[in-house]
Structure formats: structure tokens, C-alpha cells
Structure 1
Amino acid sequence: MGLLKSLSVRVLLGLILGLVIGAAAAAAGDPMVTRVIEGIEAFGGLWLNALRMTVIPLIFAILVTGIAQVSDAAATGKLAGRALGWFLGLLLLGSLYSIAFTNGLLALWPVSPEGAMALRAGAPGTSIESATPDFAAWVRSLAPSNPVKAAAEDAVLPLVVFAIFTGFALTRLPPERGRPLVEIFQAVGDAMIIIVRWVLLAGPIGVFCLGLGVGLRAGVGAAGTLGHYIAVVSLAGLGITIIGYALAVIVGRVPLGRWARATGPVLATAFATQSSLACLPAMIERSTDDLGVPKRIAGLVLPLAVAVFRMTSPVMNLAVAIFVAHLYGLEPTPLQYAGAVLVALAVSVGSVGLPGQVSFIISVGPICLALGLPIEILPILLAVEVAPDIFRTLGNVTGDMGVTAILARDEPKTAEPQGA
């Protein structure tokens, strides 16, 4: 019964039950049952729209407040500034790696057309627009002439650019004027998160309704494609974790055996809790005791990393979006990928600290929109996010400790306070 307390498990069970009942109805072939299921499926569409209505205001709010948070952290000193530089560099590296790795893996192991069709059957009201702007139009679109119109049209890239400028502008105001505005956006973001949590409480029912449609139109044939999705996204997360290991050993100059002993207990905690914050005490202890990181460095860099840095976020979020592109047979242009990387970097910072289910929708949805992809399929993928989420946390804590080890190597030993 303990497992049923987990929302992720209940959502997964809702999907499985919907698939089975929908497939049974399809096999029965009773027109009355089919009409009833189609009516129930409409409630899945309602649930999906309830999620979508929070995406744009929440993105804008968390980006403005996230930029203010990063700006405050950068002002705390050189070490924090260097840490933020490493965070940004690794997020960019991860984004480029994800595009190359995921597309390469799907070229070698493509999504089956039958499985893709089966899974797409559960996306109500999906519309695909293959807009491919040229370079000049893309550059012009970066600055929205009308931010309200951009928000209404789900033009997420120009909205992200506007939010970034707004966030930095607020940090340049006198504190007595800028801070109240930041707090207003913080309140808006918190209110949207509360709404999303309310909607996600009905997640098992909403996904069950959507799963009925998948089962009705495609039987259980979508199950194999969902397994394919889990494997691709998890492998992308595993790959960036291995890169984090390599950076700690090669750049941080930590012997492999020593690094494995230090990270072992932390990774075990990450696997059990799926929370970087829950791993923070263990990360500080293992970094200072096993890796010899000065306490003042571990005490600054690791909490900062948990607050603003998730190494796997752009990697696995882009992997999800790229899988969706292959699912629909779409090929985003290099310009769309450039926009998606910018969006991935921005939302990875802004969505740190959000609950896993909230973070999935808020982080992946904007990337899909930047790539010109439908997002109606995301609730189905959310239902099987339990396994990939483990790899997200494993990679995040590896990146946090890796950056800490690298900064400790470069930090002058004489800077350690006397008696520390």
C-alpha cells in the first residue's frame, strides 16, 4: 500500500488500467461502449488543458525570479561566480551532447511507425504545424513586438527572451523598488505551482482517461513504444552522468577509486529519494571527508548547485522533446534547435526546486513548443517518468560533486580560514 501513496505510481497505474480497458473495448467492438469511452476521454483533454493553462505564466514567473536568484548568488563573491560559470558551461555541453546522442541513438534504434501511431492515438486534438522560418525571420522573432501576443500564441522563445531581459532589468533597480516586483512574480509562480499540484492530484484520473483513448484506437501496442522512450531518455541521463564522472577524474584530478568511494553513498541516497536536496548533507560530508574539499568551498558550492544547477535537466528534457519529434516524424531545423537550447538552459535554472511532475511539464513543454512540436503527448510520457527520474537525480548529484571537486582543485589553499 505504501507504493500507492506515490503520485507517480498512481499515474502509471492509471495509464495501464486505461490501456487495458480501452483495448478490451476495442476488442468487444460495441459501438455504445466506444461512444462512452470517447466521452470519458474528453475529461482527459480537459485535464490536459488545465495543465497547459499554467505553462506560460509559470515559465515567465520562474524565469524572472530565477534570474534574480542567480544574480544574487553571483554577487556573493568570486567563488560563486566561478561556480555559476561552470554550471552554465556544463548545461550548454549537456544540451549539445543530448541533441547529438539522442538523434544518433534514434537513428540506430528508430521508433517503429506502428508503435508511434499507437502512442499518437492517445494525444487528443494534436495539431502539427511545420513552420520553418529562415534565419532573418528567426532573428527578428527573438524580440517579441508584442509579448502578450507571443504568450497567447505559445511563442515560447521570444517570451523567454523577454522574461530574461525583465529579470535582469529588475536586478538593476534599487532594492526597494526591484525586490517588491520580484516578490510579485514569485507569488505568481507559487500560485501557478499550487494550481499545477491541484491538477496533478487528478493525474491518475486524467491519464486514465487519455489511456482509454490509446487502448481504444491502438490496443496495448503503445506499451513497446513507451518502453523505447524510457530506455532512450534514461540512456541520455546515464551518458551525462558518465561525462560528470570523467570531468571529476580528468579535470578535477580525483583518482577514480577515490571518486567512486565518495559518490557511492550519495548515489545510493539519490536512487532512494530521487531528490538532490535530500542528498545535500551526504554530498557535503563525502566531499569534505573523502575528497578533501575545504568546508568553506563545499558549504558554498554544493548548496548553490542544488539551488540553481541541474546537470541532467537540459539533457533529458531535450531527449524527451527529440523523442516526441521522432514520434511524429518531424525534423526540427538547426535554428529551432538553437532556440530549444536557449529555452532548455533558461527553464533548467528557473525550474530548480519544483516537484518532479511539475518540473516535467514546465521544462519539457516549452522545449517542445520551441521545436514546433505538439505537447499533447506529454501527459502520457509523464506517466512513465518514474524510471527516467532516477537517472535525473543520479546525474544531478554527480554534476554537483564534480563541479565542487574541480573548484576545490583550483582554489588557492591559502584562502582557507585559520582554524578551519
Structure 2
Amino acid sequence: MSSPDTKKLDTFLQHAGLADFDPITGSAPVALPSVRTSTVRFKNLAALDKAQAAKADLRLRSTTYGRSGMQTHAALEQVFCTLEGASQALLSSSGMAAISHAMLALLSKGDHVLVADSVYGPVRYLEKTVLQRMGITCTYSQASPDALRQHLRPSTRMLYVESPGSLLMEMLDLPLLAEFAREHQLLLVTDNTWGSGYIYRPLELGAQVSIVAGTKYVGGHSDLMLGAVMSADPQIDRVLFDNHYALGHSVSADDVWLAMRGVRTLPLRMRESAANALQICEFLTQRPEVVRLYHPAWPQDTGHALWQRDCTGSNGMLSVQLGVTPQQARAMVDALQLFGIGYSWGGFESLVQYVDPSVLAGHSYWADQQNSLLRLHIGVESAADLIADLEQALNIAVAS
């Protein structure tokens, strides 16, 4: 893997999307403003003709209508391209919208998709409510070549994965899966929200398409919804672009501006969350109630070797399997004072999610159906305070 120079990437994120100097006054604000519009005006018809002609070349970002976004959108698209090593980035209104965009653009009636059983839960809902209706079928499987090979069909067109997985942080061997996909002429599409391009770059590991929920670490402040689809193949770029335009995807310039604000502190937040998460892991391993930790940066994690090989850093996501009853686990969640109860993650704050056993039933990585699972996002609060909060909540849970 040709990892990016982290120092250069850190510097790039501070200088991307700066405002141009006014040619008359020679001054400029630091950050590019939120450029909002529905209508794009042209000086004359020749200028409009030039813009229309430029659309044929995706390397020339040409906007003739506000739905595609203006300078603010262009700046964030460039950030995603640089983070992911992509030639094109297309924005959507949420991470789920980005997943839907990629699948609807790249699949047709009669196609079959192999899906890693560890993917983001709503993907199954997309299949049930939309893909099946369109004649597209999915098979969920452990994401290893041996397991996937058993489910291949003549109509299989795509391998869709998420690495690490959504609830159990299961690291996948992406280069091996890429080799499998090439062998069987499949498109490898991956959800890279965990890495967000900064600490994990699937396109360099062999994937054709990478999807990121900018809602999470890119935004970083839990105040926006955003998704992005990245690719680095000219043919795939064109298909994704045409379908993005046809489906009418559009993102508020204000949300894009907030995401641009978020990327300035992306390196700092990720590193701090990652450092805090390791301290939390160290504490949790000392508790008798803890059966297993799921965090690829933790040396005892099953996927640690893959994480060391393929990633350049970590973040604050971890799950903990507890040898307590569901009632005790729920009591622990309710007793936490510094952890908000919520489904999202990637912001500055710590969060906790009680994972219902029924949600884990389809995950081959879940070895013990009897124990309780909590997913934690470790934020940038004091690690000592978070540990004290977890300790008192665990004590309450055990006592209950």
C-alpha cells in the first residue's frame, strides 16, 4: 500500500478551500464562504455553451445549475478526492443516500450482489424495500473468498463490503477480496466511513468505489448529514456521474461548508479519539464482566494484524461484549452520564448504543449469541473522566 504522507495530508486539510483574494482590494476571508444558489447566471451564450461543452470531460468541473453545487461543493469534492486517492467525488445528502446512489448506478435488473454480513444495517433495508423490487438480489456472507465463492452466480456483478464492519469492527482483508473480485469480474464497492480516507484508503487496496458518510468523522460536530461516493476509474466515474445527475442528488451548501470546517480538525479529532479509545480498552480488559473487545487497533483484536498492515491510524469506535444479562447491560447504558445514547458517531462527543441481539443474528463474526453488546464511540473528553463514568455504570449494572 502506498500510504499518503500524513504530514502533507494534515497540511492540505488546513489549506483546502481557502477563499481567493479579491482582485481589487487584495484581501480575502480565510475560509471559502457558503456559496448558495439555485440559478447559475452566464455573461453571454458563449459562456453557457462553453460550460455545457465542458460537461463531457469530468476532469473539468462544470456547473450550469445550482443542484450540482458551486465553489463550496467543489472544494469539499476535492478534499474527498485527496483523502481517498480518487479522481471523482460525488456528494449526497447522507451516507445512506451515497450507498443507494452507488448501488442504483452500478446495478441493473437481474444482477446479484454478494454482501459482507457485517455491513451497515440499513443496507439490508435498502435491499428489502428497493433492490428486490427492481429485480436485484443480495446474498449475505462472511467476507472471505472461500465463503463468498459458495454464493457466486452467473449474474453476480458486485461485492459490497464495509471494513471495519459496522457493529463489531471486523477488519476485512481488502487486497484479498479485491483479488477475488477481479478473478470473478466483480465490482468491489466498500463503505469506508470508519477510515474516511484519512486512516484507510480502499481504492489503493483494490476497491473500485469507496463510500463515506461525511456525517461522521468528516463533519465531526454532529450537526450535518452528508455522504460521498468516490471512484478512480474513468468508466465508473462516468456511470456514477450520470446517475448522480439523473437521480437529482443535491446537498445544502451550508452543510458542505460545515463539512469543510470539520475537515480542518479531522486529524486532531481522530488522533485524540483513537488515543482515548485505547485507554478505554485498557480499562475494560481489567473488568471481569468484559468477555471481548472489538477494536482493530487493540493488540488482542482478531483483525489487529490487518489493521497494522492496511491502516495508518485508528479512531474512537469500539464494541464491548459483556457477560451480563440484557437487563444489566441496559441498566449500564442508562447509568452512563458522559455518553449520549445515540446511533451516530464520529463527532466530538462520546456515545453508547445498546445492540439488540436480533441485529447481530446475521453477523458471522458474532461468536456468542448469549452475551450483551455495547457499541461505544469514544470522543475527545478526558479519558480519565470517561473511564470513571464507565466504572460507575458497570458497578450499577452488576449491582442491579
Query: Into which bin does the TM-score normalised by the smaller protein fall?
Result: under 0.3
> Relative to total residues, which structure has the larger helix share, 1 or 2?
1
TM-score, normalisation: structure 2: 0.27
TM-score, normalisation: structure 1: 0.26
> Relative to total residues, which structure has the larger strand share, 1 or 2?
2
- Higher RCO by CA contacts (8 Å cutoff, separation 6 or greater): 1
